[in-house]
Every structure is written in structure tokens, then in C-alpha cells.
């Protein structure tokens, strides 16, 4: 188990074509370093250890938490999300027979010895994912799968932020929004979170299954109203019933279900950014991390990033080329009435490439890579666009898996 994970490395499809110049080659190397740094095999090795029978967890802020494994009659592992399968396998390699059982629902199925790995899908629910969730905790019964799919797709197309999308999701599920903590109570729970959201808020990561929910049924309805999202009648009825107090609200801070519950963030976008920055510095490029919390419409965020790259090229400010400009965050795409194909990654890369193409000569020699781990948005599969000023329409090259981040390399 551990040996298989230790051998993990990122493969870039058709790399020779995409790494066609020094800037593109370095940009891809930064991406692969970031992905590998955020992979569960490395995260578990860096953040978790067993010392004298105690599980010690070091979070990204340097704080530690520990639990005496011998003090528990049973240790169970449950989890959901993109990284859950690989994380569970790595955790199994660390804890071995101390794990009594459990189940995880990832996108990417992996082999484990003590844990049930159940099929899931992200971000739109599927039959397999719903059945798997029932084995971790029953999903809400008022809305059926088609209703949940339709609602999720409409939210993804609306331009709503991940926090807004999750406010609705939490109130259509008995797992999200502290639901898992409610189901597990009064047992202790230690949550290990890999964050792909801006701000690293545990209540937003994976819709906060072990975290107090600051949102309400009224907030969920507010998201739908604010973005003009039409949802199936069953979904609207459930939210209305929640506002009326006919359905129990998600547990908030201070609820006793959170006694003995702790959540630690063991990897985030910063984990990947730091690894990418190190690669750039080793190659003799000056690295600059703009932010790990970029948000807004993808095409507009790309224009700002492109302008910074042009400024570097033109006057050497804020950094002198050769340089690498890095950022991370959660950008969105609002789909129109007749949308084409693609999501935030493709739109970001195309927008940046068009800006750089129009900025000659300041846009020359700049490569753009936009990469993500949080699943498709808009109408895209999980691919990583590679673009430059000379190829504004060529954005392709899948890399698996990824973290939400952007790399601009200026040669």
C-alpha cells in the first residue's frame, strides 16, 4: 500500500508538444511539483505521525493535535471528496491494523485493505455517489437524485461562489453542514481536511461535514434568489420547509454534537504554491506568489494576471524576468443561454492568452498554466490548459490530479 503511493508521480499528457519552449517547460514543472506536494501520500507523510501510541497531526499553520489511539475501543475512517481515496490509502499505510474499518467516497477509486472504497462523483451527484453516501450517512430524502443533479448544475452555471453553492448543498444533505458530526455523536472525531477553497474555511471544505454550519435554510434560498437559479419544486419545498422550522436546521457553533470534534487542515493551495515556488527558484527564475485567494470571473481575473506579467516584461516590476508569477483561488464562469464548452480553467487561459497576444512585445515569452483539483466547473472535464501569447486558441494538456492554481512563466 505505502510503496504504491510512494511511487506516485504526475504525468503530463503529450508533454513534448506542450513544453515547446523554456517558459512552457518551467510552467509545467512548477505545476507537477505543486500537484505532487499536495498529493495525499506526501501530505500524510509530512503532516501525520504516530508517536508512542498517539496520532499526531500537524496542520498547515504549524499547530498540532493528537489523539491517544489506545484510548479508543474502535478507530473508524470515513471520508468524501477528490482526495479521499488516496488519503485513506496513505492513512491505512500509517495506522495499519489500528484501523477497525470505515468507508470513503472518492472520485478516483484506489485499493485498500481495511476500508471500503465506494464510487462517487463530483460536483454533480450520481446514482453511485448517492448510494455510497448512504453507506456513510443517509442523504436527505425529500429531493431525489435528478433534483439534486439539476440544482447542482444550475448553481455551477450561475457564477455562484463555492461558499454559496455549498450553502445550498448543505441544506439538501444529511452529511454536509455538520451532518456527519451529528451522525457520529457522541463519538470523538478528528477531521483531516485538504483545502481547495479560498480562505481554508473548514465549514466550506467539502461542505463541512464535521464543522458547524454558519448558514441557514434562509441563506440557501437567498443564494438561489441572488443568482436567479431555478430549482426543481421538491428542492424549493425542502428549503421552504426548513425556513418554516419544519425540518431541523444544520448544527451551528455551540451545538453539543461538536463536543470531541476537531478539524485540521493538512494541505491547501499554499502547499502547492510553495512547492512550485521552490522549483522556479531552483531553475534561476524569480518567483512571486500574488495570492492564494484569487476569486471572481475567470476571464477578468486572467486579465489582471496578464497585466502583471506584461508589467514585469516591460519595466521589471514587481519582479524582473526571468520570473514565475503564481496564484491560487476559486474563479468562476457564468454560463449564458448558449454556452460553449469549457470551464474556469479554459476561460482563464484563453483570456490571458488573448491579452498577452494583444500586448506585443510585452506579452512575448510568457506561458500560462491554470490547474485545478476541485472537479469540473461550467462544462469542462478536469484538464489543465497551457497557453501563451503565440497560441491564444490552443489550451489543452490534461494533468491528473491537480490543485487550484495559476502559473505564469516569463523567460
Question: 226, 248, 267 — which closes off a domain?
Answer: 267
Region for 322 from its dihedrals, namely left if φ exceeds 0, alpha if ψ lies in -120 to 50, beta otherwise: beta
Same domain, 254 and 275: no
Task: Please give the span between the terminal C-alpha atoms of the chain, in angstroms, as a whole number.
Answer: 41
Radius of gyration, alpha carbons of the chain: 22
Across 143-168, average pLDDT: 87
Look up residue 123 and give its three cell numbers: 460536483
Which segment of 225-234, 265-274, 336-345, 388-397 scores lowest on mean pLDDT? 388-397
Question: 235, 267, 299 — which closes off a domain?
Answer: 267
Same domain, 277 and 309: yes
What's the pLDDT tens digit per position in 18-43?
A: 888 888 899 899 988 998 898 888 89
Which segment of 195-204, 272-281, 363-372 scores lowest on mean pLDDT? 363-372
Instruction: Give domain status of residue 331, yes or no.
Output: yes
> Using CA atoms in the order 218, 222, 224, 228, what is the torsion angle rounded to 10 degrees?
150
Burial 69-92 (b: 16+ CB within 10 A, else e): eeeeeebebbbbbbbbbbbbbbbb
Same domain, 28 and 50: no
Mean pLDDT taken over the chain: 82
DSSP three-state, residue 78? strand
The reply to whether omega before 157 is within 30° of 0 (cis) is: no
335 near 313, Cβ under 8 Å?
A: no
Determine what percent of the chain is predicted with pLDDT higher than 90.
48
Same domain, 190 and 69: yes
334: exposed, middle or buried (C-beta count within 10 Å: 0-12, 13-18, 19+)? middle
DSSP three-state, residue 235? helix
Domain count, the chain: 2
What's the pLDDT tens digit per position in 242-270?
A: 999 999 999 999 999 999 999 999 999 99
Instruction: Give domain status of residue 353, yes or no.
Output: yes
**φ/ψ of residue 334, rounded to 5:** -100, 115
250 near 177, Cβ under 8 Å?
A: yes
Question: 240, 267, 294 — which closes off a domain?
Answer: 267
Instruction: Give domain status of residue 2, yes or no.
Output: no
What's the pLDDT tens digit per position in 65-90?
A: 999 999 999 998 888 777 788 888 99
146: exposed, middle or buried (C-beta count within 10 Å: 0-12, 13-18, 19+)? exposed
Strand 54-58 to strand 64-68: parallel, antiparallel, or no bridges (unpaired)? antiparallel
**φ/ψ of residue 271, rounded to 5:** -60, -45
Q: Where are the beta strands (DSSP E) in 268-322?
A: 286-297
Same domain, 239 and 97: yes
Helices H, strands E: what count in the chain?
14, 13
**Cα 248–Cα 198–Cα 349 angle in degrees, nearest 5:** 125
Please report the sign of the dihedral spanned by the C-alpha atoms of residue 220, residue 226, residue 232, residue 233: positive
Same domain, 137 and 199: yes
215: exposed, middle or buried (C-beta count within 10 Å: 0-12, 13-18, 19+)? buried
Instruction: Give domain status of residue 230, yes or no.
Output: yes
368 near 353, Cβ under 8 Å?
A: yes
Instruction: Give domain status of residue 9, yes or no.
Output: no
Q: What is the structure's pLDDT at 397? A: 35
Q: Cell 523554456 belongs to which residue?
A: 22
Write the CATH number for 341: 3.40.1480.10
Same domain, 119 and 147: yes
Q: What is the layout of strands, in order, in the sheet containing 48-51? A: 48-51, 54-58, 64-68
Structural domain boundaries enclosing 34: 14-38+271-410
Same domain, 48 and 30: no
Instruction: Give domain status of residue 1, yes or no.
Output: no
Residues ≥6 apart with Cβ < 8 Å to 337: none
- Which helix (H) or strand (E) segment is 233 a member of? helix 233-243
Look up residue 302 and give its three cell numbers: 486572467
Same domain, 230 and 81: yes
Write the CATH number for 104: 3.40.50.10180
Confidence band for 344, pLDDT divided at 50, 70 and 90: confident
**Cα 184–Cα 187–Cα 188 angle in degrees, nearest 5:** 110
**φ/ψ of residue 207, rounded to 5:** 65, 25
221 near 211, Cβ under 8 Å?
A: no
- Which helix (H) or strand (E) segment is 357 a member of? helix 344-358
Look up residue 251 and give its three cell numbers: 448544527
Residue 118 pLDDT > 50: yes
Give the count of alpha carbons within 13 A of 332, CB side only: 18
Residues ≥6 apart with Cβ < 8 Å to 222: none
What's the pLDDT tens digit per position in 390-408?
A: 444 443 333 222 234 666 6
**Cα 102–Cα 106–Cα 107 angle in degrees, nearest 5:** 160
Across 106-121, average pLDDT: 77
Look up residue 157 and give its three cell numbers: 452555471
Same domain, 134 and 236: yes
Instruction: Give domain status of residue 226, yes or no.
Output: yes
Residue 134 pLDDT > 80: no
Residue 384 pLDDT > 80: no
Residues ≥6 apart with Cβ < 8 Å to 225: none
Q: Helix 162-170 to helix 217-227 angle, to the nearest 10 degrees?
A: 130
Same domain, 100 and 167: yes
Same domain, 97 and 229: yes
Amino acid at each position: 500500500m505505502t510503496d504504491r503511493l510512494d511511487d506516485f508521480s504526475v504525468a503530463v499528457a503529450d508533454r513534448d508538444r506542450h513544453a515547446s519552449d523554456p517558459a512552457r517547460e518551467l510552467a509545467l514543472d512548477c505545476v507537477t511539483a505543486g500537484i505532487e506536494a499536495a498529493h495525499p501520500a506526501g501530505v500524510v507523510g509530512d503532516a501525520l505521525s504516530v508517536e508512542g501510541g498517539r496520532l499526531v497531526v500537524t496542520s498547515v499553520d504549524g499547530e498540532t493535535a493528537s489523539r491517544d489511539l489506545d484510548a479508543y475501543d474502535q478507530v473508524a475512517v470515513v471520508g468524501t471528496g477528490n482526495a479521499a481515496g488516496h488519503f485513506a490509502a496513505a492513512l491505512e499505510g500509517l495506522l495499519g491494523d489500528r484501523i477497525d474499518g470505515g468507508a470513503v467516497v472518492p472520485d478516483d477509486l484506489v485499493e485498500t485493505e481495511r476500508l471500503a472504497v465506494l464510487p462517487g462523483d463530483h460536483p454533480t451527484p450520481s446514482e453511485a455517489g448517492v448510494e455510497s453516501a448512504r453507506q456513510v450517512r443517509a442523504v436527505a430524502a425529500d429531493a431525489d437524485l435528478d433534483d439534486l443533479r439539476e440544482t447542482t448544475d444550475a448553481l455551477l452555471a450561475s457564477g455562484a461562489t463555492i461558499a454559496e453553492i455549498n450553502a445550498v448543498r448543505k441544506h439538501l444533505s444529511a452529511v454536509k453542514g455538520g451532518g456527519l458530526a451529528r451522525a457520529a455523536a457522541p463519538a470523538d472525531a478528528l477531521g483531516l481536511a485538504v483545502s481547495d477553497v479560498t480562505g481554508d474555511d473548514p465549514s466550506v471544505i467539502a461542505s463541512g461535514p464535521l464543522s458547524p454550519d454558519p448558514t441557514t435554510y434562509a441563506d440557501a434560498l437567498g443564494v438561489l434568489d441572488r443568482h436567479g437559479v431555478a430549482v426543481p419544486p421538491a428542492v424549493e419545498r425542502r428549503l421552504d420547509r426548513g425556513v418554516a422550522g419544519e425540518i431541523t436546521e444544520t448544527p451551528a457553533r455551540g451545538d453539543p454534537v461538536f463536543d470531541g470534534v476537531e478539524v485540521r487542515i493538512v494541505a491547501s493551495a499554499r502547499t502547492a504554491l510553495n512547492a512550485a515556488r521552490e522549483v522556479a527558484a531552483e531553475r534561476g527564475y524569480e518567483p512571486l506568489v500574488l495570492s492564494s485567494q484569487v476569486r471572481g470571473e475567470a476571464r477578468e481575473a486572467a486579465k489582471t494576471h496578464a497585466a502583471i506579467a506584461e508589467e514585469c516584461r516591460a519595466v521589471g516590476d514587481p519582479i524582473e524576468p526571468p520570473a514565475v508569477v503564481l496564484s491560487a483561488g476559486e474563479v468562476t464562469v457564468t454560463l449564458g443561454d448558449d454556452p460553449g464548452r469549457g470551464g474556469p480553467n479554459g476561460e482563464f487561459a484563453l483570456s490571458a492568452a488573448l491579452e498577452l497576444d494583444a500586448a506585443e512585445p510585452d506579452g512575448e515569452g510568457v506561458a500560462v498554466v491554470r490547474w485545478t483539483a476541485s472537479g469540473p466547473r461550467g462544462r469542462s472535464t478536469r484538464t489543465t490548459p497551457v497557453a501563451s501569447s503565440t497560441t491564444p486558441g490552443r489550451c489543452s494538456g490534461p494533468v491528473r490530479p491537480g490543485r487550484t492554481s495559476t502559473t505564469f512563466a516569463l523567460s
